[in-house]
Structure 1
Amino acid sequence: MTILKTYARLWVDDLDASLPSLRTLVGSEPELRFAFDAIELAAIGDFLVIAGAPAERARYRHASATVIVADLDAVVAGLTAAGGEVTTPEATSPTGRYLYARHAGGAEVEYVEWVPELVERIIPRR
């Protein structure tokens, strides 16, 4: 399983109000910004900013991080072999395929396999 990027989640009421300070701290513009269901998201540096009404944000609070991976199927195989379980089945979003999984120790994480265009644009070549 190859992890390409990990985002710390920041929960905010207003995306536009939160971005100026993050631009200053990170020193760059958001790499991604999009709407999903009733929330708005922006990826800036190593933060995934999630904005919307508290009730809408609560639907996603069970995950402690968003992890971008090269192969979602390999993640599922590795996690289940280690005693983890998929808690939200695979679905698609504007960025690619994703699912939520609980690790054997109890941590719940969102795993995303980005569409190739995002990997090419955002992940530095190794």
Structure 2
Amino acid sequence: MAILKTYARLWSEDLDKALPPLVELVGADPHLRFEFEDVEVGAIGDFLVIAGTADAAARLPRGTTTVIVSDLDQVQTVLTSHGAEVTFGPAQGPTGSYLFARHADGSEVEYVQWKPELEAQIIM
């Protein structure tokens, strides 16, 4: 089991307005962009921008960060052995399997195991 990538989550009302300064700061174009439920998601560098209305955002589980992992089942085992509670999932999304967990200290984190082809495209 390994952590492959970590994203800082940014919430926005407009993905097209949020991405240009990040493109300039990171020096690259977004490596992911997709729609999920009622929001748009864009990933660039170590930022994950989630854009939509306040109502759409309120319906999604909250997390302070998104962590890409090699084995979601092993992560869930480790987390629960340390007192974490899975608050949503595991479920399937556009990029792979994911869950949200509240750690024993109260922090909330999204963990994602990417589809193999996505992992190979971005991590390799």
**What is the rounded CA distance, in whole Å, between the counterparts of 1:105 and 1:34 in structure 2?**
32
Query: What is residue 116 of structure 1 aligned with on the other side?
Result: 116
Amino acid at match of 2:6: T
Query: What is residue 18 of structure 2 aligned with on the other side?
Result: 18
What is the Cα-based RMSD across aligned positions, in Å?
Answer: 1.0
**What is the rounded CA distance, in whole Å, between the counterparts of 1:70 and 1:61 in structure 2?**
22
1:2 aligns with 2:39: no
* Length-normalised TM-score, structure 1: 0.95
Q: Detail structure 1 runs of 4+ shifted over 3 Å in the superposition.
A: none
Taking the TM superposition and a 5 Å limit, the aligned residue runs for 1:51-66 are 51-60=51-60, 62-66=62-66
Identity %: 59
How far 1:61 sits from its partner (Å)? 5.8
How far 1:62 sits from its partner (Å)? 2.3
What CA deviation, in whole Å up to 9, does each residue of 1:28-60 have, x standing for no partner?
000000000000000000000000001111233
Query: What is residue 37 of structure 1 aligned with on the other side?
Result: 37
Contact kept, 8 Å, 2:67 with 2:111, in 1: the verdict is yes
Amino acid at match of 1:87: T
What CA deviation, in whole Å up to 9, does each residue of 1:62-91 have, x standing for no partner?
211110000000010000001111110211
Taking the TM superposition and a 5 Å limit, the aligned residue runs for 1:46-85 are 46-60=46-60, 62-85=62-85
**What is the rounded CA distance, in whole Å, between the counterparts of 2:79 and 2:32 in structure 1?**
27
The SS at the match of 1:90 is strand
The SS at the match of 1:40 is strand
Query: Where in structure 1 are there 5+ consecutive unaligned residues?
Result: none
**What is the rounded CA distance, in whole Å, between the counterparts of 1:85 and 1:75 in structure 2?**
12
* Length-normalised TM-score, structure 2: 0.96
